[in-house]
């Protein structure tokens, strides 16, 4: 199936590793151009180089209020347009409701929550401005599509995860924001969605497994609770993200898609 990504341009934050990088790879593989971001200059440069001519790396921090404007300007400078964004950010520190500090909450709020909200608003404004490049190019199956805004969230949107209290607090709020934004932007042809990964085999998940007294046993226990009996691969997540960002998903908005091997029930 042709996803219709050829020549489209997306911003992918947190694109130097993990789920963001996997999503950027799948977008580029299907013909899209990407602006990938990271906070480390060396990693950002290396990630963009590995993705090839269809990618440009920009060092950026989601918590910085200037980041959205810089990323949109970079997309327009290098590729002439913006068709959407995938907002991914590293998970907040583990901890308990009584153990996490005010500083940890503030830092995570600025990066995970407010930074995502700020970037989504800026991209929405860019996509809906009069005469926006690419507006209405969805074709017969998505004639009014102007673009898409995706959030990489977590299964904690529906079920709290033990030891990740800050994530449990912030991710559901972002899901609510995304659904509200979907209602606002739908009439203007912009789709909004969230992806809810669970045990995807990334450095972050390995780090969380490593907090257990027996990391191997911890992984085995988690796998036993997944109907497919294994962790997902970053590539599997990236394919789901690329599809939802693409015009092929032109009638999907306001959804929170679990990418978890069937671990969540009832959604």
pLDDT in tens, 77-124: 999 999 999 999 878 888 999 999 999 999 999 999 999 999 999 999
What superfamily in CATH does domain 9-202+236-258 come from?
A: NAD(P)-binding Rossmann-like Domain (3.40.50.720)
pLDDT in tens, 241-254: 999 999 999 999 99
Domain ranges in the chain? 9-202+236-258
Q: Are 32 and 75 in contact (CB under 8 A)?
A: no
Matching residue, tokens 């970053």: 234
> Could you tell me the pTM of the whole model?
0.92
Measured between alpha carbons, how far is 201 from 222 in angstroms, rounded to an integer? 12
Phi-psi region of 241 (alpha: psi -120 to 50; beta: other; left: phi over 0): alpha
Measured between alpha carbons, how far is 252 from 248 in angstroms, rounded to an integer? 9
Tokens of 114: 């407010």
Q: Is 189 helix (H, G, I), strand (E, B) or coil?
A: coil
């Amino acid at each position: 199936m042709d996803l219709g990504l050829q020549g489209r341009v997306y911003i992918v934050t947190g694109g130097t590793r993990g789920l963001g990088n996997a999503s950027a790879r799948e977008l580029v593989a299907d013909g899209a151009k990407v602006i990938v971001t990271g906070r480390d200059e060396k990693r950002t440069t290396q990630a963009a180089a590995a993705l090839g001519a269809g990618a440009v790396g920009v060092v950026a921090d989601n918590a910085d209020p200037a980041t959205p404007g810089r990323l949109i300007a970079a997309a327009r400078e290098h590729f002439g347009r913006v068709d959407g964004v995938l907002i991914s950010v590293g998970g907040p520190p583990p901890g308990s409701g009584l153990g996490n500090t005010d500083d940890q909450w503030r830092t995570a709020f600025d990066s995970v929550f407010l930074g995502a909200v700020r970037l989504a608003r800026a991209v929405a404004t860019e996509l809906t401005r009069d005469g926006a490049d690419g507006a209405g190019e969805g074709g017969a199956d998505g004639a009014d599509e102007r673009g898409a805004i995706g959030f990489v969230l977590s299964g904690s949107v529906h079920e709290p995860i033990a030891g990740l209290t800050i994530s449990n607090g912030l991710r559901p709020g972002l899901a609510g924001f995304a659904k509200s934004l979907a209602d606002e932007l739908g009439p203007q042809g912009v789709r909004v969605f969230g992806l809810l990964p669970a045990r995807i085999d990334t450095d972050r998940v390995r780090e969380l497994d490593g907090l257990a007294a027996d990391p191997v046993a911890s992984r085995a226990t988690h796998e036993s609770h997944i109907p497919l009996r294994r962790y997902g691969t970053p590539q599997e997540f990236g394919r789901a993200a690329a599809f939802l960002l693409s015009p092929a998903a032109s009638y999907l908005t306001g959804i929170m898609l679990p990418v978890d091997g069937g671990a969540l029930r009832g959604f």
